[in-house]
Amino acid sequence: MLVQQRTIGKKTSISGMGLHTGTSCKMTFNPAPENYGIKFVRTDLGDSPEIPATADYVIDTARGTTLGIGEARVHTVEHVLSAVAGLQIDNIRIELDGIEPPIGDGSAVPYVEKLLEAGFIEQDAPKDYLIIDETVMFHDEDRNIDIVALPLNGYRITILVDYMNPALGSQHTGLFDLEKEFVTEFAPTRTFCFLSEVEALADQGLIKGGNLDNAVVIVDRKVEQNELDQLREKLGLKEPISVGQSGFLNEKTLRFRNEPVRHKLLDMIGDLALIGVPIKAQILAARPGHKANVEFAKKIRKLYQQKKLVKKYQNVKKEGVVFDINAINKILPHRYPFLLVDRILELEFDKKVTGIKNVTINEQFFQGHFPGQPVMPGVLILEAMAQCGGILLLNSIPNAADKLVYFMTINNAKFRKPVTPGDQIILEAELVEKKSRYVSIKGKAFVDNKLAAEAEFMAAVVDRDSNFREE
């Protein structure tokens, strides 16, 4: 696998019609600087909004992956992203003057050819690989989908599908060497659907640009010619539609015996590019689709963000410790005598954090609370929980160093047992809801595995230099 980041050597363009929207679009690939990433830019909209190609910006996965910010949308990005990721391009600016990339022949080949024509430039910055060092699993019971990432010093994908349909049946495929196999074995595979799906998709307005030149239609039921004539009219096709002996409309032939499952792998490469960085892992997937791919990409992306966060603040890796006190000092603005978290043991990015507070007789508050009967004030236990919550929040938002967390309300606070010198408090803070700059957190404090206190907090995340006032 490549070591240095890569961009393209020159700009190159491709024009055509989008598969689902049926709108025309010119798409231009542009070189981009180091650490820029992959971004789509809607040049036809005011201020040319940029949409980063990460799972955070996925807004729809109906028959394709759609990215969006505000009113800006880019539909069906998976084939473009697969071409970019398959050619191991890290930094590229993709400009569009429409809402959906040209579909071409339904494969990634049109984009691959343009990118190869543009050539590549190796950049000075090293690639920011996410190395999967533990098994990551995704399971969807309702759709019977399983995706697993296993540790591997490389990049491999194996896919199994079973369409429960005699026209296609079970298929499997695998990619073992991205550099050698992607361009010839997977990029040429075309999008496909079953005949029984086509009319429903047309009724939903999802294949306005679809035709028999950019999709393979698999005949999965008996159909009369008059039905095909009606379908042709509904799709606005000029060419007649017929069912031959091959099992595909208009006697289409497959480019590979297992082209449908290879196309599933092509889609997965594109959807996994939404992690935001290349990964080193072995991916095993059973019956994947865009929705599952994106959900899995979001899960892996959170793992990446967490690893990046830990690396940023924790200089020396310590067994069983996410952040030591030196790292906490870099994260929280609190200082003696009001820093009430000693260590972070676990961190689930944007979800939950677990920390500890060691309570000693040297704490200042024991001098007056209470002489001869030292008990930690309940309000300080709440503060310790809140500080754990602050660590969770300040590192799940952009520009965290420029932000402060102000707690606005405390609800359902309950104190179950006293905390005294010599105790070690296990603090938990779980993100319940996040809306704009307001967040809800549930906190708990344990001593000797017994609940000592709990509460619910609402907080606002504000700029450090602002005069916060609730609106």
Q: What is the pLDDT of residues 348-403, one digit of tens each?
A: 888 999 999 999 999 999 999 999 999 999 999 999 999 999 898 876 666 666 77
Of 243, 268, 303, the domain-final residue: 303
Give the model confidence (pLDDT) of 164-221 as tens digits: 766 677 999 999 999 999 999 999 999 988 887 777 777 776 677 877 778 888 887 7
Residue 372 lies in a domain: yes
pLDDT confidence of 471, banded at 50, 70, 90?
Answer: very low
Within this chain, do residues 232 and 365 fall inside the same structural domain, yes or no? no
Query: What does the pLDDT read at residue 187?
Result: 98
Give the model confidence (pLDDT) of 402-435 as tens digits: 777 888 999 999 999 999 999 999 999 999 998 8
CATH number of the domain where residue 195 is located:
3.30.1700.10
Residue 291 lies in a domain: yes
Question: Cβ(265)–Cβ(175) under 8 Å?
Answer: yes
The answer on pLDDT for 8 being more than 70 is yes
Mean pLDDT of 106-116: 97
Q: Give me the amino acid identity at 167.
A: A
Catalytic status, residue 79:
no
Within this chain, do residues 173 and 120 fall inside the same structural domain, yes or no? no
Within this chain, do residues 170 and 288 fall inside the same structural domain, yes or no? yes
Query: What does the pLDDT read at residue 336?
Result: 93
Mean pLDDT of 441-459: 97
Within this chain, do residues 154 and 274 fall inside the same structural domain, yes or no? yes
Within this chain, do residues 147 and 209 fall inside the same structural domain, yes or no? yes
Within this chain, do residues 259 and 328 fall inside the same structural domain, yes or no? no
Mean pLDDT of 117-124: 98
- Complete DSSP assignment for 74-119: E---HHHHHHHHHTT---EEEEESSSS---TTSSSHHHHHHHHHH-
Within this chain, do residues 370 and 276 fall inside the same structural domain, yes or no? no
Q: Which of 20, 75, 263, 290 is catalytic?
A: 290
Helices then strands, each counted (H, E), the chain: 9, 24
Question: Cβ(320)–Cβ(345) under 8 Å?
Answer: yes
Within this chain, do residues 244 and 339 fall inside the same structural domain, yes or no? no
Residue 402 lies in a domain: yes
Of 276, 303, 330, the domain-final residue: 303
Within this chain, do residues 143 and 211 fall inside the same structural domain, yes or no? yes
**Which residues 6+ apart lie within 8 Å of 468 measured at CB?**
404, 406, 460, 462
Strands 438-447 and 450-463: antiparallel
Residue 144 lies in a domain: yes
Within this chain, do residues 209 and 263 fall inside the same structural domain, yes or no? yes
- Complete DSSP assignment for 119-183: -EEEEEEEP--EE--S-EEEEETTTTEEEEEE--SSEEEEEEEE-S-TTT-EEEEEE--HHHHII
Within this chain, do residues 185 and 283 fall inside the same structural domain, yes or no? yes
Catalytic status, residue 75:
no
Give the model confidence (pLDDT) of 295-347 as tens digits: 999 999 999 998 888 888 887 778 888 999 999 999 898 999 999 999 999 99
Within this chain, do residues 288 and 181 fall inside the same structural domain, yes or no? yes
CATH number of the domain where residue 63 is located:
3.30.230.20
Residue 131 lies in a domain: no
CATH number of the domain where residue 400 is located:
3.10.129.10
Residue 308 lies in a domain: no
Domain membership of residue 342 as a residue range: 314-463
The pTM assigned to this predicted structure is 0.85
Give the model confidence (pLDDT) of 52-96 as tens digits: 999 999 999 988 999 999 999 999 999 999 999 999 999 999 999
Residue 309 lies in a domain: no
- Residue 283's Cβ-count burial label (10 Å; 0-12, 13-18, 19+) is buried
Of 126, 160, 181, the domain-final residue: 126
The answer on pLDDT for 37 being more than 50 is yes
Count the domains in the chain.
3
Query: What does the pLDDT read at residue 467?
Result: 62
Query: What does the pLDDT read at residue 469?
Result: 53
Residue 221 lies in a domain: yes
